[in-house]
Amino acid sequence: MTSKKRILKEMQELSTETYSNISAGPVDDKNIFIWSATLVGPKDSPYEDGVFLLKINFPNNYPFKPPQITFDTKIFHPNISSSGSICLDILQSNWSPALTITKTLLSISSLLTDPNPDDPLDATAGKMYKYNKDEFIKKAKEITEKYAC
């Protein structure tokens, strides 16, 4: 299956399924390899009710290589850098062609409720999460309210 066919198939799946906190699709109809996605912050997390925009770039050899996904919306999180890069194993070494963009976005959503402070991209957020969680939650909520609403 070519990359284009696979992406079209996933686009079809996303349009027929209803997910409460994710949506995604091509930025325009000229290039199906560039998408934007919306992720609503998970309930019971500091990101609750925030609306986060993400950029998705599919490589030409997708699904054999992972898509590049970055946050466009500013977020304070141990595993997301200030430039929006995401540290998530399935976006790097643990990628599998069996994964879909839907499963990948759901994994990013669950990363928001369950960060990995031992492997931080944002050292400040990682340290704060580990040693002063109340302060971390307060700051994450503030950033969410300021940029993701």
Mind telling me the catalytic residues?
A: 87
**How far is Cα 126 from Cα 128, in angstroms, rounded to an integer?**
5
Maximal CA-CA distance, the chain: 48
The dihedral built from the CA positions of residue 43, 45, 50 and 51, taken in this order, carries a sign that is negative
Residue 68: CA count within 13 A, CB half-sphere: 9
The Cα 91–Cα 63 span in angstroms is 12
CB contact set of 61 (below 8 Å; sequence gap of 6+)? 3
Calculate helix-pair angle for 3-16, 101-113, nearest 10 degrees.
60
